[in-house]
Amino acid sequence: MPSAEFQKHLCVSIHDVAPATWQLCQHLIEAVNAVANIPLTLLVVPAYHGDSRDMPWYDRELARRLALGDELALHGYLHLDQGPPPRGLRQRYARHVYTRGEGEFAALTELEAAQRLALGMQWFACRGWPLQGFVPPAWLLGDGGWRALRASGLLYTTTWRHFHFLQHAAPVEAPSLVYSSRNAWGRALSRQAVRWAALGQRNAPLARLSLHPRDALDARTVRHVQHLLATLLASRVPATKAAFARDWLDSLARPAVGGIAV
């Protein structure tokens, strides 16, 4: 564990970043900035739903966010589940109902996952952008995906419940605060669930607020995000996911004096 002096962190991420979703992503960025100008982690999908066209305007927008201090992380390559048919009701629900068929890395073999990762990493490299993290679409990562990811050289990944370091450190339990936006009653229930989940995590070293483009479509959800963000920032240091990973690992590496890391 890190030292008792380790400051509690907040990571705010925007998922499913792509040309097709950029307008909604911008709305979320503006909503966050209206509360505080904090660094964000943008989870980028290079060929979202199969669209791999180069769009210079979009590259300029991402480069601008990078220059402002945001992090760009890889969020799959296609954001589509093209794996073998699911086995059993649990897999069918997870892969085709809950995630709407977007859990790209849920059932890939190690070779397939490695190929998708290589394509995504090459997309970043061609633009000269740093890449330290990967978040699987819908937070679904099968055994093959895990093996490929651990061999990728990346620093971290996250699942719904944990922040994972890909080299030599135990994961940090940090369930993501995430909204459901499929219908009005679901949005109302999820706002209440997020509020209670945030209260339950008030002493945790890391809080993760995960936003999706569709959240921008509901004004009540946006206002709830802003209120929650202000509350979390009153006691937490905002950081990108990569910055949190470095801070956590640095804290673990500090020598201990009298049993306490310094």
Which residues are CB-contacts of 150 (< 8 A; sequence separation ≥ 6)?
166
Answer yes or no: is pLDDT of 238 > 70. Answer: yes
pLDDT, tens digit, 9 for 90 and up, residues 208-237 = 999 999 999 999 999 999 999 999 999 999
Separation of alpha carbons 3 and 256, rounded Å: 9
Counted domains in the chain: 1
Answer yes or no: is pLDDT of 86 > 90. Answer: no
Amino acid letter at 162? H
Mean pLDDT taken over the chain: 89
Residue 52 belongs to domain with CATH number? 3.20.20.370
Which residues are CB-contacts of 184 (< 8 A; sequence separation ≥ 6)?
none
Q: Is the model more confident about 177 or about 93?
A: 177
- Tell me whether residue 1 is in a domain: no
- Tell me whether residue 114 is in a domain: yes
- Tell me whether residue 27 is in a domain: yes
Confidence at residue 85, expressed as pLDDT on a 0 to 100 scale: 57
Confidence of residue 95 (pLDDT cuts 50, 70, 90): very low
Range of the domain at 109: 9-261
Separation of alpha carbons 113 and 108, rounded Å: 6
Confidence of residue 90 (pLDDT cuts 50, 70, 90): low
Answer yes or no: is pLDDT of 205 > 60. Answer: yes
Confidence at residue 212, expressed as pLDDT on a 0 to 100 scale: 96
Answer yes or no: is pLDDT of 57 > 60. Answer: yes
Average pLDDT over residues 122-141: 96
- Tell me whether residue 3 is in a domain: no
- Tell me whether residue 100 is in a domain: yes
Separation of alpha carbons 141 and 129, rounded Å: 24
pTM: 0.90
- Tell me whether residue 4 is in a domain: no
- Tell me whether residue 209 is in a domain: yes
- Tell me whether residue 243 is in a domain: yes
Percent of the residues in the chain that have a pLDDT greater than 90, as a whole number: 76
